[in-house]
Amino acid sequence: MSLNGKVALVTGAAQGMGRSIAMRLAIEGASVVATDINGKLVEQTTIAIRELGHEAIAVGADIGDIDDIDRVVDEALNAFGRIDILVNNAGVTRHADIMDLTVDDWDRIHRVNARGTFFCLQRVARKMIDGGRGGRIINIASIAGKGYSGTSNAAYAASKGAVIAMTHIAAHQLGGYDINVNAICPGVTRTAMSQATAVQRSQNLGISLDELEERRSATIPIGRANEPEDIAEMAVFLAGPGSRNITGQAFNVDGGLIMH
């Protein structure tokens, strides 16, 4: 178990990529602090982890709220005394044409995806610096942040571009403390959030969900969408010893949809 003795904080861990990441980190030996705005559902993640024989606690929290971020960090430290790994996974979106986006859409998306991600990074990095043991910060961005035109909307793409930019700057400024900061940029991934946008997109196009998924898979060079576990595997690598000299990078996990 490559992460034995480590403590990992995973946001948006109730379902989808966040749940898969939390489970895989635990399987690799990490104690897990799983947080999500859906407190009841994220508790199911920690129950599953504990059933596998690993330590985990659940914290219901809104990552767009700074006070909630501080509370999550405090609860993690109270439970385990340290945070070695942060996975900034919490995110929101909706399917919308650029001309249909509202001010409320923009504020809601950036509140969680950009603002929340940054202040989680900042608050946890402070504790990593104080601990003097270094750490790993993994931000879940998106190929939308690199200009993928199939994104759910322009505000979401902008928020994920912000995540990529803050990853680069944080890696530069935190490297001296032995804190590695990287981003994962998923492509089309089968999650509850992506399913909701797919349903809306298929209705707008007047086609079935199956036909939409066939069209979407046909655009992916490898011929298939991601499963949440594909993202979890990359997160485990970036959290583990094999990535000790990798920082400031934004890795695509997308079956070849974009190649930069």
Given CA atoms 119, 189, 15, 100 in this order, what sign does their dihedral have?
positive
Looking at residue 208, its pLDDT comes to: 82
Q: Distance between CA 179 and CA 64 in Å, rounded?
A: 24
Looking at residue 35, its pLDDT comes to: 98
How does pLDDT run along the chain (260 residues), one tens digit per residue?
799 999 999 999 999 999 999 999 999 999 999 999 999 999 999 999 999 999 999 999 999 999 999 999 999 999 999 999 999 999 999 999 999 999 999 999 999 999 999 999 999 999 999 999 999 999 999 999 999 999 999 999 999 999 999 999 999 999 999 999 999 999 998 887 777 777 777 777 788 877 877 888 889 999 999 999 999 999 999 999 999 999 999 999 999 999 98
Looking at residue 203, its pLDDT comes to: 78
Is position 233 within any domain?
A: yes
Looking at residue 199, its pLDDT comes to: 75
Q: Distance between CA 155 and CA 227 in Å, rounded?
A: 24
Is position 62 within any domain?
A: yes
Question: Distance between the two ends of the chain, CA-based, in angstroms?
Answer: 32
CATH of the domain at 14: 3.40.50.720
Q: How many residues does the chain have?
A: 260
How buried is 192 (Cβ within 10 angstroms: 0-12 exposed, 13-18 middle, 19+ buried)?
Answer: exposed
Looking at residue 257, its pLDDT comes to: 93
Facing residues of 220 across strands?
A: none
Looking at residue 134, its pLDDT comes to: 98
- Residue 62 is given by DSSP the state -
Q: Distance between CA 63 and CA 11 in Å, rounded?
A: 8
Looking at residue 100, its pLDDT comes to: 97
Residue 43 is part of which domain span?
7-191+228-252
Is position 61 within any domain?
A: yes
Q: Looking at the whole model, is its pTM more than 0.85?
A: yes
Count of domains for the chain: 1
Is position 198 within any domain?
A: no
pLDDT in tens, 14-52: 999 999 999 999 999 999 999 999 999 999 999 999 999
Supply the residues annotated as catalytic.
156
